[in-house]
Structure 1
Amino acid sequence: MKRTFAVAAVVTSLALAAAGGTALALADDEPDTGTARTAHTVTAAQADTTAKADKADKADTAQQTGIAKALAAALAHTPGTAVAADREDDGRDAGAWEVDVVTADGTEYTVIVSPDSTEILGAHRDGGDDDGREDLAALKGTTVDAREAAEAVAAKGTVTDVELDDDGGTAAWSVETAKAGAWTVDARTGDVARDLDD
C-alpha cells in the first residue's frame, strides 16, 4: 500500500515536472514583442535616414555633374577627346556650355551645348590644329579624362570649368568650382589638389 502511494507520488511529480517544462518551453517560444517592436522602430528610423541621405545625394549629383553631362553630349555629337569645357558668360549663348573637342587627327572643334545638356546649339572648327595635336600628345598615357576630373572635384563644389593644363610638363586638369575655388587633378593618377595659383 505504501509502495503504491510512493509510485503514484513519483508519477505525479514527473507529470508536474513535464508540464512545467512544457510551459517553460512554450514561454520561451513566445516572441518578445517589446524587443521586436524596438528593433523594428530602429530599423525604420535608419531606413528613413538613409532615404533622406540618398535623396540629398541625388540632388547634389544632379547639380554637380552638369558639366559631365555637357561633356558627354558634346562627345556624342563630335567624337574625340574633350580638352576643355566651361559656361558661356555672355552673348546669345550665355548659360550654355562650350566644349572643346579634339578629334583623332588633331582637329579641334568647339561644341556649344544647351544649359541642360539636352541639345547641341552649334559646332565649329577651330583654327589651331597644332594646339589640338599638342593636347593629344600631352594626354598620351594618361588615365583620367575631362569628365572624370570634373567628377573628382564635384564633391567639393559645383564644377563650372575644366581645362587641360600641361604647362608644367605633366598633364593635369585645371578644375574650377562656383564657391570652392580651383583644383588640379593629375591626369595620370587622379590625385586632387588645391590649385595654389588660384
Structure 2
Amino acid sequence: MKRNVYISAAASVVLIVGGPVAAAAAATADTARTAPAAVARADVDAQGAAEAALKKYPGVVESLDKDGSVWHVDVISKDGKGHAELEVASNGKVTQVGKDTNDDPGEYKALLAAKVTAQQAMKAAVAAHPGTAWAVEWDDDDGATYWHVEVKESNGKTWNAHVDPTTAKVTASGSDSNDNDNDNDND
C-alpha cells in the first residue's frame, strides 16, 4: 500500500512538473513553425532581383536598375526573339510589365554571346570598388560592347564602371556622380 502511494505521488510530481514543460515545448515548436512568416523580408539586392526576374522569364539580363523600392529588369530570351520588362518588389515578387516576342535576334547577338553575364559584371565591379551594385546595363554604343555598372558607395556617391564582357576586367568609366540619391529620377 505504501508502495502504491509513493508511485502515485511520483506520478503526480511528474505530471505537475512535466505538464508546463511539455506545454512550453509545444509552444516553442509552434513559434518556430510560424516565426519566418512573422519576420519581414530584407530588401532584395541587385543579384536577388536578377535571379527573381530570370525565374519568371528565363533568358539574359540586359539591364537592371533600382527606382525607390522597385527593381526594373529587362530580360532578353535565350533565342533573342523575346524581351520582357519586369519589376521586382523589395520582397522579391516579380511582375511582368511588358513583353515583346517579335524582336530581331541579330540585335542581341553580342549580348547573347557575352561570356560575362550582368550578374557577373556586378560582382566584378563591386570587387573592384566596394559598395552596392545599383544598376547594370549592356552597352554596345560606338561598336564597343561592355557592361556599364553603377556602384553606390556607403557615403551615397555613385562609382561607374565598364566591365569587359569577355574578361570581366573592370575600368572606371569616368562619369562618377556625387548625387546622393539617383533612384528617384523623374525621367
Pairwise TM-score range, normalised by the shorter structure: 0.5 to 0.7
What are the ranges of 5 or more consecutive residues in structure 2 without an aligned counterpart?
A: 1-41, 177-187
Q: Aligned letter for 1:153?
A: A
CA distance in 2: counterparts of 1:126 and 1:160, whole angstroms: 26
Question: Partners in 2 of 1:119 and 1:82 — Cα distance?
Answer: 17
The answer as to whether partners of 1:183 and 1:192 remain within 8 angstroms in 2 is yes
- 4+ residue stretches of structure 1 with deviation over 6 A? none
Q: 2:114 aligns with which of 135, 142, 166?
A: 142
Question: Any conservation in 2 of the 1:141–1:188 contact (CA below 8 Å)?
Answer: no
Identical positions, percent:
32
- 1:80 is matched with which residue? 59
Q: Normalized against structure 2, the TM-score is what?
A: 0.61
1:38-63 deviations in whole A, cap 9, x for unaligned? xxxxxxxxxxxxxxxxxxxxxxxx98
1:99 pairs with 2:73: yes
Distance in 2 of aligned mates of 1:127 and 1:79: 13
Structure label with greater radius of gyration = 1
Which residue of the other structure, out of 166, 173, 177, is the alignment partner of 1:195?
173
**In structure 2, what is the Cα distance between the partners aligned to 1:196 and 1:152?**
17
Deviation at 1:142, TM superposition (A): 2.2
Q: Is the 8 A contact 2:148 2:161 kept in 1?
A: yes
Give the Å deviation of 1:127.
8.5
Contact 2:76 2:82 in 1 (8 A): yes
Query: How far 1:159 moved relative to its partner?
Result: 1.1
Question: Which structure has the highest strand share of the two?
Answer: 2
CA distance in 2, matches of 1:115, 1:98: 11
Mapped to 1, the partners of 2:87 and 2:106 lie a distance apart of 21
Partner of 1:38: none
Query: Which residue of structure 1 lines up, in the alignment, with residue 149 of structure 2?
Result: 175
Q: Is the 8 A contact 1:107 1:133 kept in 2?
A: no
Q: Name the aligned partner's letter for residue 167 of structure 1.
A: D
**For the aligned residues, what is the CA RMSD?**
2.4
